[in-house]
Amino acid sequence: MNPEVSQESIDRVVETIERMGFKAHLSRGQFRTVIGAVGEEGSLDQNHLASLDGVEKVVPIMKPYKLASRDFHEEDSVIEVGGGSVPKVKIGGEFATCIAGPCAVENEEMLNKIARLVRAGGATILRGGAFKPRTSPYSFQGHGEQALKWMRACGDELGMPICTEVMDTRQVELIERYTDSFQIGARNMQNFDLLREVGKTRKPVVLKRGLAATVKDWLLSAEYVLSQGNRGVILCERGIKTFEDSIRYSLDVTSIPVARQLSHLPIIIDPSHAAGKRDFVPAIAAAGMAAGAHGAIIEVHYCPSEAQCDGPQALLPEVFTELMGQLRQIATIFNKHFTKSAAPVGA
């Protein structure tokens, strides 16, 4: 739309787009409003749209993903996680953030202990799995709703928004009641029904890259969420399968500048699942930050040998704290800064 367009003209264009059978998505940038018309290709009357009041130009977005594309939203998106019972944490643009915690919520005591340690170390969002996607059906599968209750109480007490994995469409409603943000695991990146379902909520979604997904596949998965009206997608590079077998997965640092060029969405790295071994986590995290990530999601445990899940890759709390100091320095070089923990709501 033209820079000084009236709200009336915007409403008129939105109405027209909807009458043509498309969904209208508004993106208000610093300089102009862009209205995305999303639907099945072919049937949009571009000439008619171009003739409407306030329309500067009609541009077809050639990329297969539209709302995820920088063509639709030029500036970096800044996504807020939390609000309500916990302070809001920003991620994207100049705001970097660290999500940390155990792989799985094993019991209330360990969760509370780790949460305090990662908060003191510089994390602003608490992670923890209540429903775990395990390679073996005989491995620990998570404590389910009980774990969500512990997470919620712990997040509220410390003033940390929480993030937990959703594996199935049937869990969305339950998890939405407790969590501040969803995590879609690598194995579910192309579970399209699940993507659509979390897209219908208004809670941010950390979308892990699939083990064998291209950046384009990944952005198309983000598009599924965005197409349902949920603007809060945070991409997460967690490593892909390559022929290399000395590590668990290969963290594809290249995907960070590539995704950032193609998309306005924030992107974080998960060095824990890529490395599979704690020794490699700090170096991989640093590389991801230097490549332009907006932060990291890191697994931490005070007694990794006792962890029920992913112990070998969990950082000890003191190593995590040291790493956060380094990530903060790298962020500064690239004009970003890590958000600080705010006091709990009502404290």
For Mn ion, the binding residues (CB under 5 A) are 103, 310
Helices (H), 165-262: 172-178, 192-200, 215-227, 255-262
Among 186, 262, 265, 314, binds ligand PEP (CB under 6 A): 186
Instruction: Please check whether residue 297 is in contact with residue 126, taking contact to mean a CB–CB distance below 8 angstroms.
Output: no
CB of 230 to Mn ion, least distance (A): 24
CB of 233 to Mn ion, least distance (A): 21
Strands 23-28 and 233-237: unpaired
- Of the candidates 345, 347, 342, the residue with the CA atom closest to the CA atom of residue 124: 342
208 binds ligand PEP (CB under 6 A): yes
| Residue whose token pair is 């020794």 | 279
Distance CA 146, CA 150 (A): 6
Q: Which of residues 215-274 bind ligand PEP (CB under 6 A)?
A: 238, 270, 273
Q: What is the torsion angle, in degrees rounded to the nearest 10, for the CA atoms of residue 26, residue 203, residue 211 and residue 286?
A: 90
Q: Which stretch binds ligand PEP (CB under 6 A): 179-187, 227-235, 255-263, 325-333?
A: 179-187
Q: Which stretch binds ligand PEP (CB under 6 A): 140-148, 181-189, 254-262, 331-339?
A: 181-189
Q: Which stretch binds ligand PEP (CB under 6 A): 1-9, 81-89, 184-192, 328-336?
A: 184-192
Instruction: Please check whether residue 180 is in contact with residue 79, taking contact to mean a CB–CB distance below 8 angstroms.
Output: no
For residue 39, the partner it binds in ligand PEP, Mn ion, none, with Cβ less than 5 to 8 A by kind, is none
Name the residue whose CB lies closest to Mn ion: 103
Give the C-alpha distances (Å, rounded to integers) separating 229 from 39, 214, 237: 13, 24, 23
For residue 238, the partner it binds in Mn ion, ligand PEP, none, with Cβ less than 5 to 8 A by kind, is ligand PEP
Contact residues for ligand PEP (CB under 6 A)? 103, 129, 133, 185-187, 208, 238, 270, 273
